[in-house]
Structure 1
Amino acid sequence: MKSIVMIGPSPASRGGMASVIATLLAHGYGNGDGCRFIATQVDGSRARKAGRALAALAQVAGLLALGRVALLHVHLASGASFWRKAAFIGAARLAGCPVLIHLHGGQFAQFLDQRLGRRRRRLALALLAGARAGFALTRASAALLREHCPQAEIELFPNPVAPAPSLPRAPGANLLFVGRLEAGKGVFDLLHAFARVHAARPDARLVLAGDGDARPLEALAEKLGLLDSLSLPGWIDAEQRRALLATAGVFVLPSHHEQLPMSLLEAMAAGAPVVATDVGAIGELLAHGRYGTVVPPGDIDKLAAAILKMLQDNILADNISARGLERVQSEYHVEKVLARLRRRYEELLQ
């Protein structure tokens, strides 16, 4: 019997793509619905990652050879993620199996146009061109897929968010960021903005939760005199995120590049007011102010002012929280996204 096979990082891995997959699996994907998930990547050493990728490729190739794959659903981003999935896409093409490209990551256009030599770019475009369908998280990504996948049916597809447990919110003056600790996520911008917030609100604390090298942030915090007001808990699991969101006065995502970040959806689902940069689909998600405050990426003055206003204006924060929660429940709830995904599968298989 044929099944739909989804491939991507293990749900136990770190990152937004893994969070999407974990949410789908936790709410019924693959439970007797003719779908199955095969992990192509895990966290750990290079040897462990290579072993997982090779084992997954052997498993998928075996299913393709037996004619047991009706559709290959590929979660894809730039860099290593793309080349890891290239062999799976190529195997599906050889077997005559349709491929659904599910594009994540905020820098795929730069990956194709700036990071690849001529031969590798030709190979990448050839793999994309044969896709049967594509899911994009932003209008820009959808346009990119339409350009490079001329025969595919491309649509905007939302990331799913699970309803948050009913933890009582006790917001204080905490600023919370969740994501990788790197310049592209805007964490250094946030630390500079926090210096201005802290000058007006000495009780404010900044929590930067995520993996990555924290030493440059600690050095900058010490230089700014903020080390005692900075918390760097490292990577946190779902339960820890929920606890931190329940006490966050503001959730801040100052990224320079994004698509549709899971951390932002989770913050809105937890009822935390949000301040974020206008990149990827964030401006549309927040309706440029209705569901959260949006500022230009890299603008430290506006970032600091938006955070401070959210901390000082309780009515604004409460309204943003309520509207944001309503939005994610109505448009991004995992049950609705799963139902839409299954309908789309049926349409493609017809």
Structure 2
Amino acid sequence: MRVLMLCKRQYTGRDLLDDRYGRLHELPAGLAALGHEVLVVAASYRRRGAVDRFVDGVHWLGVDVLPWPGALFAAWRDAARSFRPDVIVASSDALHLVAGERFARHLALPVVLDLYDDYESFSLTRLPGLRASLRDACMRADALVAVSRTLAALLVGRGGAVGRITVIGNGVPGHFVPSLSREQARAALGLPGQVPLVGTAGALSIGRGIGDLFSAFERLQSSRPEVRLVLAGPRDRDVGAAIPPATLDLGHLPHPEVGLVFRALDVGVVCNRDDAFARACHPMKLVEMAACGLPLVAADIGEVSSLLADRSDARYVAGDAEMLALRIAALLDSPAPVDSGLAEPWTSLAGRYAAVLDVAVGAHH
């Protein structure tokens, strides 16, 4: 099967082509490993320069949208003409889904729309008519892939047919979990070896509720002054001013090193705010922490409520720093990792994705 994927290049704080990170890298690479031919056209909304390379069995093309947006659509047409895909996958945001569905329809090809977030919650959908066009595209597509059960339910409520929606969450790369002890991971990162470490890694944003962790840590320090806070990842400007004193800040680490952080911690924290975005997303950091055997506490929103339904001790009410501090303290006293089975390998998810594409191709013919 020849798969043409249309997506954006910068997402979740990283660069798809430079960092080889996340869903938009792992699923195409997984499909290629299964024997499918995959071409990805990644659009950059920033000027990054053209890219044309083969990595992990996938042909990757990078196209700058600026200064001439027509360059992207020309790249799509050229790719379709030379690659002759059997199916088109569109992902990343409302513009890609709407334009990708129309492009596939123009070529009389089956199209699968991949929603790794609720794109209606993105500011982009404030553009006049885009929200309605997105819903129309979702209703016309041959299949939809939703990143969470919560998002799938939203899509059904907006008119999506239940039988055309498949839930495929986010996974963990095979090399992500380090074969090191906690002490070895701490030494590799330059972290202290004999003190309790609490923290998180990933995109740090006040808008994603990181303030809960900062406030909870300050509460913890009043009774447990030996506890240290560890942070790693890209952050917005407001975060820098809010980071508590004496925090062990590792900066923006390459994604493969995030597993080291999770191995080094005593308790991991997954913050979020109770909003449309959080209710629909899949908690990638939660499953990565689970894969590393890290005891964790996560904001009790959306998919987290389902994944941790039997672990009330691992959930806290978003915005309640006092509850979060109590949950962290309890896990420091009695460590209890969540089920590592919550973390599926990307290779397994790619197999399920291939099945969705195969059905879409078969049904279209």
Flag whether TM exceeds 0.5 (same fold): yes
Q: If the TM-score is normalised by the length of the shorter chain, which range does it land in? A: 0.7 to 0.9
Note closer, same or farther for the CA distance 1:165–1:10 as it changes in structure 2 (3 Å cut).
Answer: farther
Partners of 1:201 and 1:250 lie apart in 2 by 14
Instruction: Extract unaligned runs of 5+ from structure 2.
Output: 50-62, 187-194
- Alignment counterpart, residue 134 of structure 2, candidates 119, 124, 141: 124
Partners of 2:202 and 2:69 lie apart in 1 by 25
The answer as to 2:334 corresponding to 1:309 is no
Partners of 1:151 and 1:301 lie apart in 2 by 40
Deviation at 1:158, TM superposition (A): 2.4
The answer as to 2:181 corresponding to 1:168 is yes
Note closer, same or farther for the CA distance 1:14–1:143 as it changes in structure 2 (3 Å cut).
Answer: same
Whether the aligned pair in 2 keeps the contact of 1:185 and 1:253 (CA below 8 Å) is no
Whether the aligned pair in 1 keeps the contact of 2:220 and 2:227 (CA below 8 Å) is yes
Whether the aligned pair in 2 keeps the contact of 1:132 and 1:152 (CA below 8 Å) is no
For 1:61, give the aligned amino acid: R
Which residue pairs with 2:56 in the alignment?
Answer: none
Which residue pairs with 2:27 in the alignment?
Answer: 24
- Alignment counterpart, residue 155 of structure 1, candidates 166, 169, 182: 166
Moved more, 32-41 or 87-96: 32-41
Instruction: Extract unaligned runs of 5+ from structure 1.
Output: none
In the TM superposition, 1:286-297 aligns within 5 A as 286-289=308-311, 293-297=314-318
SS at match of 2:6: strand
Moved more, 151-160 or 15-24: 15-24
In the TM superposition, 1:223-302 aligns within 5 A as 226-228=244-246, 230-256=247-273, 257-258=277-278, 259-289=281-311, 293-302=314-323
Which residue pairs with 2:107 in the alignment?
Answer: 95
For 2:303, give the aligned amino acid: A
Deviation at 1:191, TM superposition (A): 0.4
Partners of 2:324 and 2:104 lie apart in 1 by 46
SS at match of 1:135: strand
Which residue pairs with 2:340 in the alignment?
Answer: 325
Partners of 2:230 and 2:163 lie apart in 1 by 43
SS at match of 1:336: helix
Deviations 1:79-113 (A, max 9, x none): xx3224533332112112221111122x534459x
For 1:166, give the aligned amino acid: S
Whether the aligned pair in 1 keeps the contact of 2:64 and 2:71 (CA below 8 Å) is no
Which residue pairs with 2:57 in the alignment?
Answer: none
Note closer, same or farther for the CA distance 1:10–1:152 as it changes in structure 2 (3 Å cut).
Answer: farther
Q: Which structure has more helix as a fraction of its residues?
A: 1
Deviation at 1:273, TM superposition (A): 1.2
Partners of 1:279 and 1:151 lie apart in 2 by 23
For 1:72, give the aligned amino acid: I
Whether the aligned pair in 1 keeps the contact of 2:213 and 2:324 (CA below 8 Å) is yes
Whether the aligned pair in 1 keeps the contact of 2:178 and 2:260 (CA below 8 Å) is no
Deviation at 1:182, TM superposition (A): 1.6
In the TM superposition, 1:69-108 aligns within 5 A as 69-76=85-92, 81-105=93-117, 107-108=118-119
Which structure exhibits the higher relative contact order, with contacts defined as CA atoms closer than 8 Å and separated by 6 or more residues? 2
Identity of aligned residues (%): 23
TM-score by length of 2: 0.77
Note closer, same or farther for the CA distance 1:327–1:127 as it changes in structure 2 (3 Å cut).
Answer: closer
TM-score by length of 1: 0.80
Which residue pairs with 2:73 in the alignment?
Answer: 57
Deviations 1:168-227 (A, max 9, x none): 23485212222322222211121011101122221212122221334x334334xxxx41
Partners of 1:272 and 1:194 lie apart in 2 by 18
The answer as to 2:144 corresponding to 1:134 is yes
Note closer, same or farther for the CA distance 1:324–1:53 as it changes in structure 2 (3 Å cut).
Answer: farther
The answer as to 2:223 corresponding to 1:217 is no
Partners of 1:342 and 1:20 lie apart in 2 by 14
